[in-house]
Amino acid sequence: MTLTVEDLLAAGYQTFHDSHAASKLPDWYQASYQKRFTDPLGIRYFITIVHNVMPANFSRSGLPSKTFFTPSNQFSRGGVTFNVEMLHYTESLDQVESFFADLWESMHLDYYEMQSERHSPQPADANAA
């Protein structure tokens, strides 16, 4: 099954412009999509999917235009942060999301943000009058 922009939007992904991704392949870059994954304890992680389109006749072989979706994530565990980029060719969106969920659970990765961190009282500003 080929992933589509419509699939991403229907699944709750938000569109944004990722200047870093756009700078890598400026003629190919279309948009980026991101979705937050949470549970009652907080934000587990985000999945970011970059949408690129290879222009028609890009190669000497005269290949037609081709659409690429590249799902990626950044995880942390015990102070070590690492990137995971999935080489997406035929996986469905459910398979992509399941892959990252299984990775997060099996490796016991850190939360991106705990619920308690989001609602902790902010220190008073010493300069406020």
Contact 119, 40 (CB under 8 A): no
Q: What is the pTM of this model?
A: 0.81
Contact 77, 110 (CB under 8 A): yes
Q: Which residues pair with 66 in a beta bridge?
A: 54
Judge residue 18's burial from the number of C-beta atoms within 10 Å of its C-beta, 0-12 exposed, 13-18 middle, 19 or more buried.
Answer: middle
pLDDT score for 13: 97
CA–CA separation, 58 vs 114, rounded Å?
A: 45
Chain segment 77-121, per-residue pLDDT in tens: 999 999 999 886 678 899 999 999 999 999 999 999 998 866 555
